[in-house]
């Protein structure tokens, strides 16, 4: 029994999970990168499966699967037979990818998730991140707790992921061979586009969208837009601001240039912030509370949970003052700052935001 599977099996028994059930949570067969000590840095799963057919479990047992959440090392020699069995099981797309893995010079792995629990290995984490970016699950629909601690900080280069301690030697070797090793960033998360580009999106600066982002069809991410992992958009939408981890932006909503949404990783507390459909966050504005549908925050105004807001009636008269958290999730609100008094005001937003169809075309 593989070491990871054994621990996963024990963990499942302790949690009361039936290990050899007929339903698996997810499956990925992929190729990745390891450091000199054989530790995983990243894994690419070309065709991840959510809730794979029960018939695939018998196939997995033949390559060493005994239950639980685990990573099974594979060899290129196993790929032709595995691809044939996958094709026979009706998994044509996965079978084609697995057949191609037979020519790999990099390490191969099958990652099996019996249950949706916090990831404990790099392959498990990468499988869950790719489930998100493939639109198989939405933010908060899979357990990613502790994922940041599981992943290693690596150098993302023109030759792939490199362990930081091994980077100087690789840079020197490249120079000796009359080539240059470009380091694009040093981070735990790679850019999404190196693993998957979902259909019907535009991304002006791919480094600003992390793997694990969910981009709905019709989404445009402009140069200053940013989307973290476990966050994203329903689409369509124009994103010129920041979508922090955990934030989901509804359909037809726009984030203006330099705007920001406060997530739980950046001081938002335990509140899961979301933005409904048809909303507009003005340039350099920000929100730290959930917004309902058809809400507008004027340019330059940052609303946090404790912001004091003066409520206005239909005639523009002050009715009461309350904290913004009391308006969380409500629809049809317009937030603005009184240019004379500096007071943050809120009134009914009677004009729905209509997106420019030409800007959101992805033909």
Q: Which residues are the active-site residues?
A: 240
Residues 279, 260: Cα–Cα separation, whole Å = 14
What is the distance of C-alpha 248 from the center of its chain? Answer: 11
Pair of tokens at residue 256? 């203006």
Pair of tokens at residue 241? 């601001």
The residues pairing with 163 across neighbouring beta strands, listed in sequence order, are 154
143 CB-near residues (< 8 Å, 6+ apart): 116, 117, 118, 119, 128
Written in H, E and C, the secondary structure of 175-188 is HHCCCCCCEEEEEC
Q: Other CB atoms closer than 10 Å to residue 37's CB: what's the count?
A: 8
Whether the CB-CB separation of 279 and 312 falls below 8 Å is answered with no
Residues 172, 167: Cα–Cα separation, whole Å = 9
Whether the CB-CB separation of 83 and 92 falls below 8 Å is answered with no
Length of the chain: 363
344-348/333-337 β-pairing: antiparallel
Instruction: Give the side-chain half-sphere CA count within 13 A for 192.
Output: 33
Pair of tokens at residue 99? 């057949």
128 CB-near residues (< 8 Å, 6+ apart): 26, 113, 119, 142, 143, 144, 147, 212
Phi, psi for residue 275 in degrees, rounded to 5: -130, 130
Residue 359 falls in which region: left (phi positive, over 0), alpha (psi -120 to 50) or beta: alpha
Q: Other CB atoms closer than 10 Å to residue 177's CB: what's the count?
A: 9
Whether the CB-CB separation of 271 and 300 falls below 8 Å is answered with no
Pair of tokens at residue 286? 């920000």
């Amino acid at each position: 029994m593989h070491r990871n599977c054994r621990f996963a099996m024990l963990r499942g028994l302790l949690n009361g999970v039936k290990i050899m059930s007929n339903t698996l949570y997810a499956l990925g067969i992929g190729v990745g990168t390891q450091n000199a000590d054989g530790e995983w840095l990243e894994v690419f799963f070309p065709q991840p499966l959510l809730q794979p057919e029960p018939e695939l479990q018998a196939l997995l047992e033949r390559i060493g699967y005994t239950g639980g959440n685990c990573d099974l090392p594979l060899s290129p020699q196993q790929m032709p037979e595995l691809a044939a069995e996958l094709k026979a099981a009706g998994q044509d797309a996965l079978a084609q990818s697995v057949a191609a893995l037979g020519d790999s010079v990099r390490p191969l792995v099958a990652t099996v998730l019996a249950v949706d629990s916090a990831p404990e290995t790099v392959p498990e984490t990468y499988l869950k991140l790719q489930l998100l970016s493939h639109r198989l699950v939405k933010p908060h629909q899979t357990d990613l707790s502790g994922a940041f601690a599981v992943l290693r900080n690596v150098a993302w280069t023109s030759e792939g992921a490199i362990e930081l301690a091994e980077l100087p030697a690789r840079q020197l070797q490249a120079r000796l061979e009359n080539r240059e090793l470009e380091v694009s960033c040093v981070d735990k998360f790679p850019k999404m586009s190196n693993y998957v580009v979902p259909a019907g999106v535009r991304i002006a600066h791919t480094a600003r969208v992390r793997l694990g982002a969910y981009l709905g069809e019709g989404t445009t991410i402009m140069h200053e837009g940013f989307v973290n992992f476990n966050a994203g958009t329903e689409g369509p939408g124009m994103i010129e601001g920041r979508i922090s981890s955990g934030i989901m932006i509804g359909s037809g909503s726009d984030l203006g240039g330099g705007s920001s949404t406060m997530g739980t990783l950046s001081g938002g507390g335990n509140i899961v912030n979301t933005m409904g459909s048809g909303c507009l966050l003005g340039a350099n504005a920000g929100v730290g509370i959930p917004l309902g549908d058809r809400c507008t925050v004027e340019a330059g105004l940052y609303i946090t949970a404790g912001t004091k807001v003066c409520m206005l009636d239909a005639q523009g008269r002050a009715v009461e003052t309350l904290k913004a958290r009391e308006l969380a999730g409500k629809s049809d609100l317009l937030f603005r700052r009184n240019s004379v008094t500096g007071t943050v005001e809120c009134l009914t937003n009677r004009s729905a935001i209509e997106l420019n169809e030409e800007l959101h075309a992805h033909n």
